[in-house]
Amino acid sequence: MLPNEMLGVYTDLFADSFICAPEFIGGHRCFVITEEDKESKLNKIEVRGVPENSILLKMNCYKEPIATFKSTKGECKRCDYVILTQYENTMHVIYIEMKSWELKKPDIICQFKGAFCFMSYSNVIAEKFHNARISSAPQERYVVLYANRNNKTSLFPKPVQNNHSFPENAMYFPVGSKKTKKGFVYLRELI
């Protein structure tokens, strides 16, 4: 199945409250991702430069399956958001976790693994109930967007790591400023 068709299947599969289409803000097609915790040092990020054929999954509104799993190893955790997009003719799945200060790598890895498992399960549902076949494996990216510890917002912040195709090698990307609690990043920087 082609990437655009697969995005259509995801749109049919997931509840409307769970997905978002890109919106226009200040002339940019973007996703707005937010942190629900009011004490957070980073409350709002615009992911700019999002292609039209993209959807955002709000993983933070997905309830943990604690009635099913014991979660002794973090099986019930998940990251905050997942972006599904076709960028430069390639399907990408970008797992995003927002953090303020505490960048506890073991917890973040569990969150990414939990979201990966959810997406794997969703792909099986799409195959079995919607007759969808993913023709090629999407490019997966794992990104932690964290509050920039400087007071100034850098126009071109540098990610901490480049190889981010696995939860254990996530890219840590500083965004925004302590003062405003918001910032932006371009999608191409996450891929």
Q: What is the sign of the dihedral through the CA atoms of 15, 19, 25 and 27?
A: negative
Whether 71 has a pLDDT exceeding 90, the answer reads no
Q: How confident is the model at residue 84 (pLDDT cuts 50, 70, 90)?
A: very high
Chain centroid offset of residue 181 CA: 19
Instruction: Give per-residue pLDDT as tens, 28-40.
Output: 899 999 887 777 7
* Strand boundaries in the chain, DSSP class E: 19-20, 23-25, 28-34, 44-48, 54-57, 81-87, 90-99, 139-147, 171-175, 182-186
Is residue 112's pLDDT more than 90?
Answer: yes
124 Cα distance to chain centroid:
20
Do 103 and 172 form a contact (C-beta atoms < 8 A)? Answer: yes
pLDDT bucket at 83, cuts 50 / 70 / 90: very high
Q: What's the predicted TM-score (pTM) here?
A: 0.88
> What phi, psi does 91 have (nearest 5°)?
-75, 130
Distance CA 139, CA 131 (A): 22
pLDDT at 159 over 70: no
Considering the chain, what percentage of its residues have pLDDT values greater than 70?
84
